[in-house]
Amino acid sequence: MDPRSGKRIRMGRLLRPDTGHGVIVAASHAVLERPPRALRTTREAEETFRKLRRADGILIAPGSLRTAEDVFIGRDSPGLLVQMDWTNWGRPIYPPMQDGRSEAVSASIATMEEVSAAGGVGVMSYLFFGQLDSRLEREDIQRNAKLSRECERLGMVLVIEPRSAREGLEESATGADVLSFCCRVASELGADIVKSVWPGSVDAFAQVTSSCPSPVVLAGGPGGEDDVSTYELAKAAMDAGAAGLMFGRRIYNSTDPEQVLEKLAEIVHGDPSSGGL
């Protein structure tokens, strides 16, 4: 038996074989920063996860599986993605500072064997560039490369989200040139799917998607108060060549997460009803 078959089968849970696209819900915020309002308590989280069943995949931290377990059970269930690393970058409480800016330090919080035993289809990892301390960047490259080889060995899907540690300090940190470079490196390390932030326009994001051999999905960022802007961003991403979306707060911070998720599925998978945007 070949682990490449396992990877293909698991990829088909996240990116539908008939469209090559997917809608993945990111719900691992609590291990990284303050949890969004829809995930603050166990009761809120249980209710929120029940509304996410139509997603192609859901990303959670290891400890959230106790709360979210039921949504992953059944033939029509979303694929389970597990956040493999913790990072202190970008958090509002006790942000690490050096020379006036945050430095991203990461640590593994799960093993591939644990994810596989829990029924996971894959994992997600961060990859930071532009650190003041170049050793941190080297360690991130080594960690992600090792994770890629482990995913190949076990037939698991690897999603890498590359980010510039200089976001918020340099406008170019989220520009097309920087993101294209970072996403290409992630792909060359072995990422099956690359998650990217929005560089500001369809043309700029098209530069990112066209230069990355791996499928690129768009990160949603803050949002959820205005569903129309969420749909517009999703359509712009697909027009730019995205393979799908990895939205979190834009879905479950909405007053009607199920409706938002249904509409995003229409946009991503090409349902004619999405054409009115």
Provide the residue range defining the domain that includes 64: 3-276
Q: What is the pLDDT of residues 228-269, one digit of tens each?
A: 999 999 999 999 999 999 999 999 989 999 999 999 999 999
The residue whose two tokens read 């949890």 is: 35
Q: What is the pLDDT of residues 183-201, one digit of tens each?
A: 999 999 999 999 999 999 9
Confidence of residue 276 (pLDDT cuts 50, 70, 90): very low
- Six-digit token string for 196: 């990217």
- Six-digit token string for 95: 């942000």
Confidence of residue 143 (pLDDT cuts 50, 70, 90): very high
pLDDT for 5 equals 95
pLDDT above 90 covers a percentage of the chain that reads: 77
Question: Dihedral angle at the C-alpha atoms of 55, 110, 151, 234, nearest 10 degrees?
Answer: 30
Judge whether residue 1 has pLDDT over 90.
Answer: no
Give the max Cα distance, the chain: 52
Confidence of residue 98 (pLDDT cuts 50, 70, 90): low
CATH number at residue 29: 3.20.20.70
CB within 8 Å of 134: residues ≥ 6 apart:
none
Judge whether residue 274 has pLDDT over 50.
Answer: no
Judge whether residue 104 has pLDDT over 90.
Answer: no
Least confident of 93-97, 163-167, 209-213, 227-231: 93-97
Confidence of residue 99 (pLDDT cuts 50, 70, 90): low
CB within 8 Å of 187: residues ≥ 6 apart:
194, 212, 213, 214
Burial classification of residue 219, based on how many CB atoms lie within 10 Å of its CB (0-12 exposed, 13-18 middle, 19 or more buried)? middle
Q: How many structural domains comprise the chain?
A: 1
* Average pLDDT along the chain: 92
pLDDT for 225 equals 84
Q: What does the H/E/C string look like for 111-138?
A: CHHHHHHCCCCEEEEEEEECCCCHHHHH
pLDDT for 100 equals 61
- Six-digit token string for 126: 């961060």
- The answer to whether 77 and 71 are in contact (CB under 8 A) is yes
The residue whose two tokens read 């696209």 is: 21
The one-letter amino acid at 160: I
Q: What is the pLDDT of residues 12-56, one digit of tens each?
A: 999 999 999 999 999 998 898 888 888 899 999 999 999 999 999
pLDDT for 221 equals 86
| Gap between the Cα atoms of 96 and 94, Å rounded | 6
| Gap between the Cα atoms of 51 and 59, Å rounded | 14
Q: What is the pLDDT of residues 197-224, one digit of tens each?
A: 999 999 999 999 999 999 999 999 888 7
